[in-house]
Amino acid sequence: MKFVRFLAQGQEGIGVLTEDGRSVVPQEGFGLERRFASLTELIQEIGPDGLETIRRAAQEGKNAVPVSDVKLLSPIDRPIHDVICVGVNYRDHLTETKEKFDTSFQEPVKPVYFSKRVCHTVSPGEPIRSRMEIDPCLDYEVELGVVIGKTGTDIPRDRAEEYIFGYTIVNDVSARTLQKQHVQWYRGKSMDTFTPMGPVLVTKDEIPFPVTLDLCCRVNGETRQSSNTRYFITDIPSLIADLSRGMTLEAGDIIATGTPAGVGTAMDPPCYLKPGDVVECEIEKIGVLKNPIE
């Protein structure tokens, strides 16, 4: 199923796309007693029976509204915590990072984690606001976002899939000067509007495990990044097992799993985003996340 958050006639709602992707069944058509304030609340409370009920409702198309009559928003507006990010998780991006972005960068022996502050995610079509006076080196990173569906600590690698709710697209927008200047990447990854997300949250049953999805990023129609999640250095089960060792992952948490080669900062010469550009992040089976730069 593809869960969505949307705006219809000025009202925000959550719902699920019908199988043909042409309509949205809002939660009022789910046939459930209770209403959820957000998709995070739904993820935390729904359970397998509830999901099955929603699946049937999506098939029946009750209360369905044409998708052309709504504006799709980022599925999760305010994540429960900062987004957990994985750095240099594709071999080719690790190489370009060492050779082009930061020649002092030491090849890590363990997964690299950092966090990304997110007051609000950015919806499809909404602008990423550049702050050229703070940092003119604005960059894109297409990433598969894993949304945790069940709270867990010390999750065994072979049970990791059980703890996943689904997948979305995250653009890990980065201010490269800040990223490098402050040693820790947090500051350069965390400016307002630096986390576009969406357009949908796809439940895990639609994406076979292990996850092997093509992903790419285009700037003004030109392909900059193109890879497949099979090239992760640390795969999703290992990330979930490693992160949850002594650190609880909560239902609703989001893990951005890293980006492949082709970021603007590693081009020769570097090619940063500027106002007027349009960035499209695409992942197979999820969709296209398109945002202009303002």
Measured from the CB atom, the residue of 151 and 226 that comes closer to Mg ion is 226
Name residues whose C-beta falls within 8 Å of residue 269's C-beta, 6 or more positions apart in sequence: none
Nearest residue to Mg ion by CB is 172
What is the DSSP secondary-structure string of 73-138? E-S-SS-SSPEEEEES-BHHHHHHIIIII-TTPPPPSS-EEEEE--SS-B-TTPPB---TTT-S-E
- With contacts defined by CB under 5 A, name the span among 51-59, 110-118, 136-144, 270-278 that binds Mg ion: 136-144
188-218 core/surface letters (b: 16 or more CB in 10 A; e: else) = bbbbebbbbbbbbbbbbeebeeebebebbbb
The CA distances from residue 271 to 232, 263, 267, in Å, are 25, 8, 6
From the CB of 114, what's the least distance to Mg ion, in Å? 8
Tell me if 172 contacts Mg ion by CB under 5 A. yes
Question: How many chain residues bind Mg ion (CB under 5 A)?
Answer: 3
Measured from the CB atom, the residue of 172 and 280 that comes closer to Mg ion is 172
Segment 138 to 157, residues that bind Mg ion, using CB under 5 A: 141
Name residues whose C-beta falls within 8 Å of residue 51's C-beta, 6 or more positions apart in sequence: 1, 203
3-state secondary structure of 49: helix
Binding mask 209-228 vs Mg ion (x if CB under 5 A, - otherwise)? --------------------
- With contacts defined by CB under 5 A, name the span among 130-138, 154-162, 166-174, 241-249 that binds Mg ion: 166-174
From the CB of 143, what's the least distance to Mg ion, in Å? 6
Using CB under 5 A, pick the residue from 97, 171, 190, 259 that binds Mg ion. 259
From the CB of 89, what's the least distance to Mg ion, in Å? 8
Measured from the CB atom, the residue of 42 and 263 that comes closer to Mg ion is 263
Q: How far is CA 126 from the centre of its chain?
A: 15
Q: Which residues bind Mg ion (CB under 5 A)?
A: 141, 172, 259
